[in-house]
Structure 1
Amino acid sequence: MQTLDEHTFLARRREPLLSYAIYLESKHGMEEGIGMVAAGLLQPAEVLKNIPPENFMTATRQRAWDGIDLLSLAYSAGHTTADLRALYPTILEYWEEYANYDRAFDVQAGAAEQGFPHFALPGDGYEQVNRMICLGILLGWGNLLPRLAPVIDFNNHEKDGLVERLLAFSVDGRDTDWPECTRRQPYVKTLKIFAAEKQERPALMQDYLAKWYDASRREPYHDSHARDTSFSGYWSWEAAAITCLLDIDDSSYRDAAFYPADLVAFQRQPPSMRLDPA
């Protein structure tokens, strides 16, 4: 993905709190790390066989994290939806490869190091999973979510109501009656939107977005613009994904803060109008 020049960035930036300097530093750091992992995995077989499984697991985990962060950053910075759509399958491959190496590490690890999820839903992994599911939906890759589901499910023994409902539109066997969210705020409030009558949903979503940021105060992204270079924008990805999945009329909240309205418009286009990567 080409780096935006400053003029283009300022003209197309979606997140007003994102500076060009942070965009450049973050994008360069993520892409450099991703490139280093790719180069490491291409070493000769006689070199790779002597590398501890933990090293593969740790490196590919960081690449999976960097991949979803890069996608979020690119959206905030103003990259086109076509560029974002083209990037998503590659990031899914990063998640799958990490899952493979994490399982291989478990096989040889001691009991104390086994049994952990790839992305822990009760922890910070929830927010990464939420982004990965929602951006898959919004970028028109719902057909890929059956590949994502096993990565999420691995050793996550506690179900999550929002994750179950989001995946259910693409993945069979999800529990759409599950009444709780593992991270609770702000996400548990979305369950009322799924349960509501069609005419009630716009008002409920409008209220959800109005309270979203304050309700997110325990999430890792909250106030991140004031902390360090990890900031990649404030977006309620789930609000947009739910709007698409439930076909909610968003005219009353289309201009709300934290709502990625252009992704909803993109997802609602006929598939033939989306520009797929060559």
Structure 2
Amino acid sequence: MQTLDEKTFLASRRELLLSYAIYVESKDSQDECFDMVEAGLQQPAEVLQNIPPENFMTATRQRAWEGIDQLTLAYSAGHTTADLRALYPTILEYWEEFARYDTAFDLQASAAERGFPHFALPDVAYEQVNRMICLGILLGWGNLLPRLAPVIDFNNHEKDGLVERLLAFSIDGRDTDWPECTRHLPYFKTLKIFAAEEKDRPALMQDYLEEWYYASRREPYYDSHERDTSFLGYWSWEAAAITCLLDIDDSSYRDATFYPADLTAFFRQARVDYEPDGGGPVPANELRAKAGDPCPKAGTWESLDIPPRAMSYEREQPMLDLESGYGLTVWRYLEN
């Protein structure tokens, strides 16, 4: 993802408390992490086999953390929703690769170091998980959440009511009756929105957003604008994700502080854009992009046309419009 110039940043940023200097410093640090980990993993096999498993685990963990932070930062800075959507599958791959290395480390670790979650829900990692789930939903990647769920579930023996309810829209068998949240405030207050009658949900969500920031005072993002480079923006991702999943009319709180309203609008339009008439829902784990989108993953893509047409794309290359009969051409990923 290209760094925004200052003029574009100032014209398009969504989080007015974010400065251009902090944006650039944070993004440069994140990009450096991505490059260093990628270079490290591409070393010759005879070098890699002599590196301790813990090193792979800690490096890929940092990249996973930086990945979801960059997605958050990019939203606050004003990157387009198309760019954000294209980035999500890469961040998901970072999380999956960390999970593989952490599992390998867990298998050979001492008893004292074994049995920890990849992302502990009772800890501050909850907020990272919340962002990863909600942004997956909001950016039109709900069909990829079956890949994310095993990463979250690993050694997390205590369930979380909000996580279970969010994942249940994409994954069968989640416990939608679980009555508690591992971090409690502010997230516990969302459970009554799920349980409420349809007509009562807008008012409950409006109340939730009004109380969200103060209720978040024990969360790692609280007052983070006073800590310089740790600031990524203040957004109630779960409010937007719940609005989308429950199809709540957000007209009464669309302009509320902390509510990412444009992501709700993007989600609702994505259901039209990526599911052409008669094509049915997007299959689980399938990557799709429409004409004009930056390519989410390098490799071969096939148009949803009759007859289909296959083309090779590089990551972030604009997807072509073949003037399909149903509108803008939609592409699905075939292989690398």
Q: TM-score, normalised by structure 2?
A: 0.82
- 1:41 aligns to what? 41
For residues 22-171 of structure 1, the aligned pairs below 5 Å read 22-171=22-171
Taking structure 1 as reference, are residues 53 and 21 closer, same or farther at Cα in structure 2, changes over 3 Å only?
A: same
Aligned equivalents of 2:2, 2:170: Cα separation in 1: 31
Once the two structures are TM-superposed, the CA of residue 270 in structure 1 deviates from its matched residue by: 4.4
Amino acid aligned to 2:157: H
Aligned equivalents of 1:171, 1:95: Cα separation in 2: 18
Aligned equivalents of 2:234, 2:120: Cα separation in 1: 21
- 2:227 aligns to what? 227
TM-superposition CA deviations, 1:180-212 (whole Å, max 9, x none): 000000000000000000000000000000000
Aligned equivalents of 1:114, 1:22: Cα separation in 2: 37
- 1:197 aligns to what? 197
Give the greater-gyration-radius structure (CA). Answer: 2
Calculate percent identity across the aligned residue pairs: 82
Amino acid aligned to 1:194: F
Amino acid aligned to 1:45: A
Report SS of the residue matched to 2:43: coil
Q: Is the 8 A contact 2:140 2:270 kept in 1?
A: no
More helix by share: 1
Extract unaligned runs of 5+ from structure 2: 275-289, 296-318, 320-336
TM-superposition CA deviations, 1:55-108 (whole Å, max 9, x none): 000000000000000000000000000000000000000000000000000111
Aligned equivalents of 1:125, 1:173: Cα separation in 2: 23
- 1:250 aligns to what? 250
Report SS of the residue matched to 1:269: helix
Extract unaligned runs of 5+ from structure 1: none
Report SS of the residue matched to 1:227: helix
Report SS of the residue matched to 2:228: coil
Aligned equivalents of 2:207, 2:229: Cα separation in 1: 30
Matched, 1:184 2:206: no
- 2:6 aligns to what? 6
- 2:326 aligns to what? none
TM-superposition CA deviations, 1:239-258 (whole Å, max 9, x none): 00000000000000000000
Aligned equivalents of 1:131, 1:63: Cα separation in 2: 16
Aligned equivalents of 1:86, 1:92: Cα separation in 2: 11
Amino acid aligned to 2:269: Q
Report SS of the residue matched to 2:120: coil
Taking structure 1 as reference, are residues 112 and 49 closer, same or farther at Cα in structure 2, changes over 3 Å only?
A: same
Aligned equivalents of 1:68, 1:107: Cα separation in 2: 26
Higher relative contact order (CA 8 A, sep 6+): 1
For residues 262-277 of structure 1, the aligned pairs below 5 Å read 262-273=262-273, 275=290, 276=293, 277=295
More strand by share: 2
How many residues were matched structurally? Answer: 278
Aligned equivalents of 1:272, 1:242: Cα separation in 2: 19
Report SS of the residue matched to 1:268: helix
Matched, 1:208 2:240: no
Amino acid aligned to 1:257: T
